[in-house]
């Protein structure tokens, strides 16, 4: 564990802090598609991503859902940070998008380190910053882009996150993440295929050039 930790966070944190993380954190290794946090669930610890990727989804009461953003190595969940104050119930759902390694930090430590380590404080601030910027980007997409542009952006982002030019998703899954219907996605994907930007297969989409 200490080696993984050093690789991902060694340049960010001082040795004493790395030591504490190693001591108090819990190493976790989850497969793809593992549900890490559910909406309304209470949060007891915050995740530090070592490798893999996590998909953060927003759901509302009527079963509507929407992809907010992805977390990658070196990220942490700002929504979790946020839960250390006030309400501790999660507003989001977190699902691993890839096999993922992470370290869970008890929230008391998060509080303690904030006073103790400047590098930790900066890390937390920077995480908030990054998450706010991702939220802004999400807002830009849903407010300013048409569905075909959002789909294109989705395919690009997904390919980048998984580091694979084939995207293993069904049209229905994409529809859920973009909060639209399967028929709409099929329609737009077919248009992209006709433009020879992608190649459609059962259960996957091969990107030719986006």
Partner DNA sequence: GTTGCATAGTAACAAATGTTACATAGCAAA
Partner DNA sequence: TTTGCTATGTAACATTTGTTACTATGCAAC
Residues 6 or more apart whose CB falls under 8 angstroms from that of 110 comprise 46, 81, 84, 124
Total residues found in the chain within this entry = 210
Considering only residues 131 to 170 of the shown chain, the ones binding DNA according to CB under 7 A are 146-148, 170
CA distance 86 to 9: 28
The site partner of 119 among DNA, its own copies, none (C-beta below 5 to 8 Å per kind) is: none
Instruction: Using the minimum distance from each CB to its own copies, give the nearer residue, 35 or 116.
Output: 116
Give the nearest distance from C-beta 194 to DNA in angstroms: 8
Considering only residues 84 to 123 of the shown chain, the ones binding DNA according to CB under 7 A are none
Question: 């079963």: which residue's tokens?
Answer: 63
**Binding window for DNA (CB under 7 A); candidates: 59-67, 77-85, 111-119, 187-195:** 187-195
Taken in order 18, 19, 22, 23, the sign of the CA dihedral is negative
The site partner of 182 among its own copies, DNA, none (C-beta below 5 to 8 Å per kind) is: DNA
Q: Per CB under 7 A, does 184 bind DNA?
A: yes
DSSP element (H, E) containing 101? strand 100-106
Residues 6 or more apart whose CB falls under 8 angstroms from that of 112 comprise none
Residues that bind DNA (CB under 7 A): 146-148, 170-172, 179-184, 186-187, 189-190, 193, 200, 202-204
């Amino acid at each position: 564990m200490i080696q993984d930790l050093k690789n991902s966070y060694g340049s960010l944190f001082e040795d004493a802090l790395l030591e504490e993380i190693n001591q108090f954190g819990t190493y976790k290794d989850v497969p793809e598609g593992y549900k890490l946090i559910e909406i309304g669930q209470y949060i007891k610890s915050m995740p530090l991503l070592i490798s893999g990727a996590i998909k953060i989804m927003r759901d509302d009461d009527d079963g509507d859902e929407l992809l907010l953003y992805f977390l990658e190595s070196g990220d942490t969940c700002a929504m979790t940070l946020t839960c250390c104050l006030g309400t501790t119930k999660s507003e989001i759902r977190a699902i691993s998008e890839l096999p993922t390694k992470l370290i869970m930090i008890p929230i008391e430590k998060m509080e303690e380190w904030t006073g103790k380590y400047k590098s930790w404080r900066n890390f937390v601030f920077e995480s908030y910053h990054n998450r706010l910027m991702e939220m802004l980007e999400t807002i830009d997409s849903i407010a300013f882009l048409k569905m075909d542009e959002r789909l294109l952006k989705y395919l690009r982002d997904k390919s980048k996150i998984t580091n694979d030019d084939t995207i293993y998703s069904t049209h229905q899954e994409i529809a859920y993440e973009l909060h639209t219907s399967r028929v709409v996605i099929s329609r737009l994907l077919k248009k992209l295929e006709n433009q020879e930007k992608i190649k459609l297969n059962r259960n996957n989409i091969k990107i030719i050039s986006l």
